[in-house]
Amino acid sequence: MKKRTLNRLEVSAIGYGCMGLSMGYGSAPAPQEAIQLIRRAFELGCTFFDTAEIYAMGANERLVGEALQPLRNQVAIATKFLLQKDWEGHSRERLMQALRNRLEASLKRLGTDHVELYYQHRVNKDIPVEDIAYCMGEFIQEGKILGWGQSQATVEEIRRAHAITPLTAIQSEYSMMERKFEPDVIPVCEALGIGFVPFSPLANGFLSGQVKPEAEYTGMDARRVITRFDKDNIVANQPLLDLLHQVAADKQATPAQISLAWMLHKKPFIVPIPGSRKMHRMEENFGAAAVVLTDAEYADIERALAQIEIHGNRTDEDIARLRTLQ
């Protein structure tokens, strides 16, 4: 697979979001099956694997660490920390200790002495981004992390943090169905030399073209609360799926591959991290790296997308609501 650069970190053009191997979309695969999927991703050219401390309360980090242990020197691991409680008024020293404890716990679960990329999972409005950036700079100097990033950050947060310790990447939701970061965040990443890593690049699987209005989701499956999966919205979004199927047929590809190829064509510093729990879907996703759109094909897709209204979305608030459902 071709390589791309997030700031100075070289990774495969498409990474692997590993969350779904432990949580998020109903029953997770058995651990050994999940390990096989991760190792198969590497065989297909993926060298960039994404996890977080909160995914299945650390179990996902342990899974990723075990799967990548034989490959550790050939891959880049990204994980994330989340500070949710009220931190207003606390000292930088206390923040440093809290972050150090979290980082050490993640490294232990991953079975490694460093990670290539360490994200702030969501920007906490009670903590100055400059203080987070300072701590990340200390960890970089110590060799505990090679780079750092933010998730769902604003342009102002990016600029302020980057001025203290240069950011490696911004990881935020981005797909044909969620383009709110195109006007400002992606351009500022380009201007500052920061990578952009889209999570949910296939809109939680919607852009695979396989979603049916009659589908039922149960248990701890995020699609129960992501409004693009409401039956009426599935029907209303059919024009987007029709476009993907048409382009896919012309390119002898799949709708998912066209969705990812469109994203890869947009900017050379964009590295999507689709996740899949099925081998054939994973192989399909990584195959998108070989689907090359011409400038004319890309322009045609952009013109068509501009005429399509998107119905439904995904929000952190909706995801949090999943825990209250029976």
Q: Per residue in 226-282, pLDDT tens?
A: 899 999 999 999 999 999 999 999 999 999 999 999 999 999 999 999 998 999 999
pLDDT band at 86 (very low <50, low <70, confident <90, very high): confident
Number of domain units in the chain: 1
- Note the helical H segments in the chain: 31-43, 59-68, 92-110, 129-142, 155-164, 185-192, 231-236, 238-251, 255-266, 279-287, 295-306, 316-321
Degrees to nearest 5, angle at CA 276 with 271 and 277: 155
Number of neighbouring beta carbons within 10 Å of residue 203: 25
Say if residues 323 and 190 touch (Cβ distance below 8 Å). no
Instruction: Give residue 326's pLDDT.
Output: 56
Q: Per residue in 11-28, pLDDT tens?
A: 999 999 999 999 878 788
% pLDDT > 90, the chain: 85
Rounded CA separation 263/270 (Å): 7
Tell me the average pLDDT of the chain.
95
Q: Per residue in 19-76, pLDDT tens?
A: 999 987 878 899 999 999 999 999 999 999 999 999 999 999 999 999 999 999 999 9
Say if residues 121 and 81 touch (Cβ distance below 8 Å). yes
- Residue 50 phi, psi (nearest 5): -115, 135
Cβ within 8 Å of residue 186, ≥6 positions away? 174, 196, 266, 267, 270
What is the domain extent for residue 169?
Answer: 3-324
Instruction: Give residue 215's pLDDT.
Output: 85
% pLDDT > 70, the chain: 100
Instruction: Give residue 271's pLDDT.
Output: 98
Say if residues 234 and 47 touch (Cβ distance below 8 Å). no
Nearest residue to 133 via CA among 176, 173, 168 = 168
55 is catalytic: yes
Instruction: Give residue 82's pLDDT.
Output: 95
Task: Read off the CATH number of the domain in which 187 is found.
Answer: 3.20.20.100
Taking residues 165-172, report their average pLDDT. Answer: 98
Say if residues 286 and 30 touch (Cβ distance below 8 Å). no
pLDDT at 177 over 90: yes
Instruction: Give residue 192's pLDDT.
Output: 98
Instruction: Give residue 25's pLDDT.
Output: 80
State whether residue 66 is helix, strand or coil: helix
Pick the more confident residue, 314 or 200: 200
Say what the pTM is.
0.95
Locate 307 and state its tokens: 């005429």
pLDDT at 187 over 70: yes
Catalytic residue among 16, 55, 119, 174: 55
